[in-house]
Amino acid sequence: MIIDAEKTHSAHWGVFTARYDGRRLRVRPHPGDPDPSPVLDNIPSAVGHPARVAAPAVRRGWWERGPGRDPGRGRDGYRTVSWEAVLDRLAEETHRVRSTHGDEAVYGGSYGWASAGRFHHAQGQLHRFLAVTGGYTRSVNSYSGGAAEVLLPQILGGFDAVTRYAVTWDQVAAHTDTVLAFGGMALKNSGIAAGGVSRHVERGAMRAARDRGAMFVLVSPLRPDLPEEVDATWLPIRPGTDVALMLALMHTVVAEGRHDTDFLASHCDGWETLREYLFAAPAKDAAWASAITGIDASAIRELAWRIAYGRTLVTVAQSLQRAEHGEQPVWGGTALAAVLGQIGLPGGGFNYGLGSLGHYGRPRNAVPVPSFSRAPNPVNSFIPVARVADMLLHPGGTYDYDGAERTYPHVRMAWWAGGNPFHHHQDLRRLRRAVAELDTFAVHDPVWTATARHADVVLPSTMTIERDDIGATSSDALLVAMKQLVPVHGEARDDYDVLSALAHRLGHGEAFTEGRTAHEWLVHMYDRTRKALADRGEPAPDFEEFWERGELELPRRPDDGGVLARFRADPEGHPLPTPSGRVQVGSATIAGHGYDDCPGHPAWREPTEAPDERHPFWLVSNQPATRLHSQLDFGAHSSGSKRSGREVVRIHPDDAGPLGIADGDVVRLHNDRGATLAAARLTDDIRPGVLQLPTGAWWAPTADPERPELGDDGLCAHGNPNAVTRDRGSSRFAQGCTGQLCAVAVSRFDHPLPAVEVHRAPEAP
């Protein structure tokens, strides 16, 4: 590779250029990005970091004793082996599991955001490999949006169509009068987009709307969930009670005759059922909701008056459905927008996730972007992604999902690439017990995450900055030539090279590679886009020209409101793909499932876990501002935000004072599931009674001096909230994750502080 030449590259949090002088990598944002993400500052730290996996490693117990259930995972030492030896052994084990237990006994658990590149996409690579070599049990939905991904197609339409491509930021800037943001629209979240984001437009669009006179209303226990410059009206709601506020707003609007009866009659189904629920005892009025939400009844009535006039956009952040009964705020927001009659209007109606991800709220590209083709999976076995620990702990057990009773397969071997389940999943001590049930756990990882430290086989992967790729997404117009920036670390290999070698050992090499090298795949993938450009009469440079230029601007489709605008204009000619072809403010189909925790209309359900005398605080475990999930947690920007080497928990001064907690103190957050340490930051930007600890600090299990009976993993020394969160489905309907909220106690930690040593390779025993 050429040293000290400026090259283009892309990450999920932004396009950038970089220069490597042989020792240090320097990055700078793309010049066309009006509001670049500071998370880019994490990238240079990855070069040669002590946390890198330098060579293939195997857990000693698995290598010496063979596959099988083993509580030693996460506690055992590792030895380095050659690539040839580990690939031979892994191919033999894959064949053994499949021939003995069937193809569904292999779980393809890749879930993650390892690269913005469309070829070296770890999830796509692994799933293609497992499919062409025999098949596997897969996961469906995501940790981020599991409840909404099941619900929205049944009540509003295709998930991407009604979330990504209906309401855009340009529409908000030009048309919206009131933005009612449940859970907010935090810039730390919208700065991230799968496949990359070349222009961060969210701050500018919100500022333009505010300058035009739009009002922003933030419904959240956290004030920073909207940027300061929009001067939002803050309603610091009790966590998890948003649907009660939505119901009260609907009740007030209807009681005062300000609802759109024509729209409800012509475009909606199930309204009479919902209306009956709103007015049945106890009436879901402002006084009822005030007692639940902690918002004054007068403020609720005033808000109902405001949203009934002008152009109102109701948004629901992804965070709200990452909780028990998480389907309900998504359904409630949809129904509220329907009652107002604004679904399908420019900058009006309802949008799930606007502000939660950077690829929402942008027009779709007019041509397809390059993508790595997957192979059909011959096995039909799957689980909702957040139920992985249940699957491993209860093989053969039954569970409900989307109206059907399903059975957990007996998985003996799990593969993971490009993700960190010991970040994404909840109740990490339970997850550790779950992976102990496997015969074999194989992980591709560039760094020694907690997941790698629980694997039997650790295959060192290259990082995105060590390989060529193409950055692209259907909602960003810039196609990026992601050029290798630095030499490969140690013995790391591309996932494609590793899986090609394994596929050949299993007799399916040609099916996996189709005879192409990695570079030939890039050319092949790009050609799809080039041909589509040529067919439209657009400039269509060949691959070599594109690669030399470093980027290519793609044409966009018109910003016309998509399927919801067409449905609004002509509900008979452009029906929605729901059971009735209309907006389902009530659903006989969902009601027919008989789920008490997800009835046939938006409803308030009390949580089964809430603060009490033993655990008096709500803990909000939201996305971090300084990294993407747990990725590059050791980076300069991420590390610089920690205190005492630990993640920061935000506490209201009124809560901290009586507990003797001062700013900067290390505190212990705990419940019956475990405990985690964090550094306290006192702030009035949070509702009293609520603590906020972001996800993503690498799990650092150690003994808890206050609960030694829990063993060597009772406490996380680093501040990972999933040491205390619940591993429970959102409902029997969608089975999404519920990691956003749980109940905890907090106290100052007066014991000697345990060391945090997770950002380096494990020591040999």
Read off the amino acid at residue 366: A
How do residues 348-365 score in pLDDT, each as one tens digit?
999 999 999 998 999 999
Q: What is the pLDDT of residue 1?
A: 66
- For 545-611, give the DSSP string: HHHHH-EEEPPB---S-HHHHHHHH-TTTS--SSTTSSEESS-HHHHTTT-TTS-SS------SS--
Residues whose CB is less than 8 angstroms from the CB of residue 573 and which lie 6 or more positions away in sequence, other chains included? none
pLDDT at res. 429: 98
Q: List the catalytic residue out of 111, 165, 271, 360.
A: 111
167, 211, 412: which is closest to 313 by C-alpha? 167
The pLDDT, as a whole number, for residue 255 is 98
Please give the structure tokens belonging to residue 174.
């030009």
Nearest-5° angle of CA 640, CA 15, CA 622? Answer: 45
Backbone angles phi, psi at 583, to 5 degrees: -70, 125
Q: What's the pLDDT band for 24 if we cut at 50, 70, 90?
A: very high
Burial (CB count within 10 angstroms: exposed 0-12, middle 13-18, buried 19+), residue 755:
exposed
- For the cut 80, the answer to whether the pLDDT of residue 693 exceeds it is yes
**Residue 359: what pLDDT?**
87
Strands 138-140 and 382-384: parallel
Percent of the residues in the chain that have a pLDDT greater than 90, as a whole number = 97
Distance CA 326, CA 323 (A): 5
Q: What pLDDT is attached to residue 133?
A: 98
pLDDT digits (tens, 9 = 90+) for 729-758: 999 999 999 999 999 999 999 999 999 999
How far apart CA 730 and CA 739 sit, in angstroms, is 10
Instruction: Please give the pLDDT value at position 347.
Output: 98
The pLDDT score that the predictor gives to residue 618 is 98
Note whether 57-141+380-473+484-509 and 147-364+561-591 share their fold.
Answer: no
5 band by pLDDT with thresholds 50, 70 and 90: confident
Q: Tell whether the model's pLDDT for residue 4 goes beyond 80.
A: no
Residue 374: the pLDDT is 86
Say what the pTM is.
0.97
Residue 2: its H or E element: none
Per-residue pLDDT at 112 exceeds 90: no
The CATH number of the domain covering residues in 617-748: 2.40.40.20
In this predicted model, what pLDDT tens digit does every residue of 489-521 receive, in sequence order?
999 999 999 999 999 999 999 999 999 999 999
User: In this structure, which CATH number among 3.40.50.740, 3.40.50.450, 3.40.1190.20, 3.40.50.880 belongs to the domain 57-141+380-473+484-509?
Assistant: 3.40.50.740
Name the band, by pLDDT with cuts 50, 70 and 90, for residue 680: very high
The average confidence (pLDDT) of the chain is: 97
The 10s digit of each residue's pLDDT in 255-269 is: 999 999 999 999 999
Is residue 111 flagged as an active site residue? Answer: yes
Is residue 100 exposed (0-12), middle (13-18) or buried (19+ Cβ within 10 Å)?
exposed
The whole-number pLDDT of residue 463 equals 97
Q: Which of 62, 113, 271, 352 is catalytic?
A: 113
Collapsing DSSP states into helix, strand and coil, what is residue 383?
strand
From 250, 249, 252, 170, select the one nearest 205 (Cα to Cα): 170
For the domain made up of 147-364+561-591, the CATH class stated in words is alpha beta
648 touches 719 (CB < 8 A): yes
- The pLDDT, as a whole number, for residue 764 is 65
Is residue 639 within a helix (H) or strand (E), and if so which, with residue range?
helix 636-640
**What's the pLDDT at 765?**
57
Instruction: Quote the percentage of the chain above a pLDDT of 70.
Output: 99
| DSSP bridge pairs for 715 | 675, 702
Q: What is the pLDDT of residues 283-326, one digit of tens each?
A: 999 999 999 999 999 999 999 999 999 999 999 999 999 999 99
pLDDT of residue 432: 98
Distance from first CA to last CA of the chain, Å, rounded? Answer: 37
Average pLDDT of the residues in 703-710: 98
User: What DSSP designation does 407 have?
Assistant: E
Confidence of residue 111 (pLDDT cuts 50, 70, 90): confident
Cβ neighbour number for residue 511 with a 10 Å cutoff: 15
pLDDT at 581: 98
Full DSSP string of 419-460: --HHHHSS-HHHHHHHHTT-SEEEEEESB--TTGGG-SEEEE
Per the model's pLDDT, the better-predicted residue between 85 and 419 turns out to be: 85
Domain ranges of the chain: 7-46, 57-141+380-473+484-509, 147-364+561-591, 617-748
The pLDDT score that the predictor gives to residue 113 is 80
**pLDDT of res. 188:** 96
Q: 735: alpha, beta or left, given left = phi > 0 and alpha = psi -120 to 50? A: left
Q: Which residue has the higher pLDDT, 418 or 574?
A: 574
641-663 mean pLDDT: 97
The helix (H) or strand (E) run that includes residue 45 is none
